[in-house]
Amino acid sequence: MQWTLGWRDKVWSELDQPWDVIVIGGGITGAGILRQATHAKLKTLLVEADDFASGTSSRSSKMVHGGLRYLKNAQVKVTLESVREREYLLKQGRGLVNRLGFLYACLQGDKIPGWVFGVGLAVYDLMAGQWSHRSYDVEDMRELCPLLTTPDLRGGYRYFDASADDARLVLRLLYESVASGGFALNYARVESLLRTQDGQICGVILRDTSGESERQAEVRAKVVINATGAWADELRGVIQQKPRLRPLRGSHLVLPFHRLPLTRAVSFLHPRDGRPVMAVPWEGSVIFGTTDVDHKANIQTDPSISSSEAEYLMEALRFVFPARELTFADVMSTYSGLRPVVNTGKADPSKESREHAIWDENGLLTVSGGKLTTFRIMARDALRAVRKHIGHVHFDADTPVLAPLPPNAESALAETGFPPSQQLRLLARYGTGSTQIFLDDACHGTIPNTHFLWAELRHAARAEGVIHLDDLLLRRVRIGLLAPNGGMDLLPRIRAIVQPELGWDDARWEKEASEYAALWKRAYALN
């Protein structure tokens, strides 16, 4: 991704040109819209107030899934769309979106009988055009997952979904959009909206929030799209629209693999309230979540887990995996994300629909709701709505949302000596141009406790638009989630690798390291 030294100055210098579309929000929804808009040959600018994927799109459960649990709430449409999009992304995002085996554990006292779940799985598989689930008795479940030592186990099912690195998926979409002629700018906050004489939105006033400049710019476009997720109502409020969203917080615990060595994901109903929770192996660790609670506090970029949420999740872990004797001392990190759910007034937040919505208000087109898996559908619906403002927009439904990797692409990295799975992983994150990055880089070896390479840190600092240290350690390379103490113990070596690439003097490095430590302790540590 070639956001190299000087790229921000270049983008800022070109903002005064007329645009077809301005997309506000650099998460999965905005990135998907930018990708589809560049396919449609629209002159499109994406702006993000903080870092790309710094909100919900780096804080998901890392699942590209069909929404099996939504069938319980009769949300058939969103499940069908999700299943189809999951299968599409498994083909398009090979190496970035990966099929993942699941075990569903049926427990004594479950509010939903196991056979009902089996019926749901049958529907799920039929929607995907496959038949991959099957049922197991207690003995077989324990053979498949010896960690399931709970005496309440009553059997279960095997099925398949998919997982991904959510932030890297956003970055790949942005990279390919920029390569196709789009523009993407992080740390550019919309200070206000521009209007025509009849009150229609026709552009934005941007302010540079990188800390490196105090510049501002007026930017005009035929249509402005609000893709700010859980923050969408804030922008809608500028044009005196009533709130429509119900921000729900989903929190997670991250545990080291050696404390919960799962080779498949395990899902079950929480013994306290019957909500589905899951333990997902991811990047050499295990993520356990998620909660689903109303977020009453301010809609901040870095929400944090509450003590009651942490207790709720640990209670479930201890119940299903009692022999592991897990405690809070085993938790490496935590993270919380805010879901932009359309508010329909349900008493139980988990029963709110996960369908997306599009509102055209005074020329401000808001796209919200939905989920990671369905970003492509949301983007296409947004472009259909754009037609009202700019006329016919042509986009080919068969154009790949992600550029496919060439056949046998892994052979390009054969000289590295990496195993095939690592070769595919690197190609999926950095593209076929990554060959020389990892062949020539002097930073050999893997970062402790992770699957990431030291060379990935150098490349991200050099060419991925890093403005602050948390951009690097929480989103480009996920050390902040996966290394003990947020990677603070690794900072001396990280500094030696990335400080020259970032062009920071010693004072800037010390400031960034201090701010990263404070952020990690506030929003990612278990307090």
DSSP string, 117-153: HHHHHHHHHHHHT----EEE-HHHHHHH-TT---TTE
158 touches 136 (CB < 8 A) = yes
155 touches 138 (CB < 8 A) = yes
Residue ranges with strand state E in 320-394: 333-342, 356-361, 364-369
What whole-number distance in Å separates Cα of residue 324 and Cα of residue 142? 14
Could you give the residue ranges of the DSSP H alpha helices within 246-304?
none
Within 10 A of 215 (CB to CB), how many other CB atoms are there?
15
Q: Residue 1: its pLDDT value, please?
A: 44
pLDDT tens digits, one per residue of 352-378: 667 789 999 999 999 998 889 999 999
3-state helix, strand, coil in the chain (%, to 5): 40, 25, 35
The dihedrals phi and psi of 499, each to the nearest 5 degrees, come to -60, -45
Task: Go through 291-307 and write b for each residue having 16 or more CB atoms within 10 A of its CB, e for each that does not.
Answer: bbbebeeebebbbbbbe
Q: Residue 20: its pLDDT value, please?
A: 96
Query: 249 is written with which tokens?
Result: 């917080």
| 450 alpha-carbon distance from chain centroid | 18
pLDDT tens digits, one per residue of 240-275: 999 999 989 999 999 999 999 999 999 999 999 999
* Helix, strand counts (H, E) of the chain: 16, 17
Using a 10 angstrom Cβ sphere, with 0-12 exposed, 13-18 middle and 19 or more buried, the burial of residue 400 is middle
State which H helix or E strand residue 275 sits in: none
DSSP 8-state class, residue 94: B
Written as one string, the DSSP assignment of 360-390 is EETTEEEEEE--GGGHHHHHHHHHHHHHHHH
State which H helix or E strand residue 307 sits in: helix 307-320
Extract the residue ranges of the chain whose pLDDT is less than 70. 1-2, 66-76, 347, 349-353, 406-412, 432-436, 439-442
Among 446, 464, 463, CA closest to 455:
446
Could you give the angle at which helices 28-39 and 166-179 cross, rounded to 10 degrees?
Answer: 30
Which domains are present in the chain? 7-56+167-243+353-390 (3.50.50.60), 89-163+246-343 (3.30.9.10), 441-523 (no CATH)
Within 10 A of 263 (CB to CB), how many other CB atoms are there?
11
What whole-number distance in Å separates Cα of residue 59 and Cα of residue 57? 6
Residues 6+ apart with CB under 8 A from 286: 254, 255, 256, 257, 259, 260, 262, 279, 280
3-state secondary structure of 157: strand
Among 362, 336, 343, 332, CA closest to 201:
362
Angle at 172 between CA 33 and CA 61, to 5 degrees: 85
What whole-number distance in Å separates Cα of residue 343 and Cα of residue 244? 6
| Global confidence as pTM | 0.94
pLDDT tens digits, one per residue of 113-166: 888 878 877 877 777 777 788 999 999 999 999 999 999 999 999 999 999 999
